[in-house]
Structure 1
Amino acid sequence: MTHYIEVASAEGAWTQTLHLPTALPVQRVRHVLTGLARTWPVAAFLPGTADEPVNEVVLYRDPSRTYGTPDTSACDAAVHRLVATTGWTRGAGRGDDAAIVGLGLREGYDAGAREHSPGEVTGHLLSTSATGWRCRVARLVSARLVDHSVRWYAENGVVVRAESRLLPAVGAAARNCAQHRYVVTNLVEQRTYVFQRSPDGGSPT
């Protein structure tokens, strides 16, 4: 049976929601985030589906064994630069969330692979508990500077905000969607960590 192991982590649980004064096309937001990625590795959720205009960006950290993880002060500095150049505004704090997890809906990274539905994720969560979680459709995106050029990745997915007791159910949803890896921003433990599929998941990044 497929299971996941922790392959990378970082102290702290940093995340920042940014609100756009006017909704922008996805390609315009990609251009902005690609520019930011030249000085800071971008990992973000763009609430909405497909080519729906973007009016909110949720930034977080994605720990990497290969590239490391920026500390929270570097993340705050990156947001300061972004806000200063775009006019985007910072959202409120964490609220009552215990953990934030983004799950892709496509199996693995193959562009032609099967894509699951958001309802499958909510179904797994509902089978465990009717309360203590929220699930929102979003585009999962990342942009990282590699060999002097920015590598961009985007996938349809969902963002789950859940109590700690429901993290095993989130893991079950990840298995159902055949995710290669996923990141948990644990606001209770103040830790961010990556789960990756084992034993056939390949080399951690």
Structure 2
Amino acid sequence: AAQRRRRSGRAPAVQLEATRTEWFRKVKRIGNDKAIFDVTIPKPMGVKIQMFPQENRKGMGVSEVVDDGNCDQVNRKVIIDEEPGMWVMEGDQLLCVDGVDVERGSIDDVVNIVSNNGKDEVTLTLLRDTRRGPVKIVMMPGGKMETVRRNCRLSAAGEYAKQGVLKYGCLDGWCGTCWHRERTTNGVFKPCSDLITEDWDSVLPMVLTFRP
């Protein structure tokens, strides 16, 4: 009976939700809204690295996270299951591979390090522009993800991630038909009218659930 009483006195299990402070502790801030962090990914990584095409941006970065690849699996564990660590996004600049500086290196340098590190995993050191770079949108409960540029309308990002049309009852957000609640901030977002602006710090994935 005593055992039954002890069991019944336990608090029910709840889903953990990381706070903004906990997310921000995953990175090192270096000024100008830039953040540096490490991500360890099993081989094959399932991530595409390319030299930046912009004339005013030197170096290389992440151009694609392959669906269902190892990097995508790491992202899902960190973003959706809120496991420890940080996640990778298209647009992140590659600074180091397994501690070796490649900021001014080549794609061949990266391939050589990855191929000859003698391990089953690779650690990437990445730099992210947290206010001007893209944002990761995650539509729950399905966990569909999409990376979108700033000043993109949230409706376009949500529809692309969900592979379907969102329902609207107005075009200025007053009716509540399309409202979504964001997991970490607990804020209400209105896809029919909201834009993804520099207000959002992209260390945080924007995890949205329909009907707040």
Which has more radius of gyration? 2
TM-score by length of 1: 0.28
TM-score by length of 2: 0.27
* Greater RCO, CA 8 A, separation 6+: 1
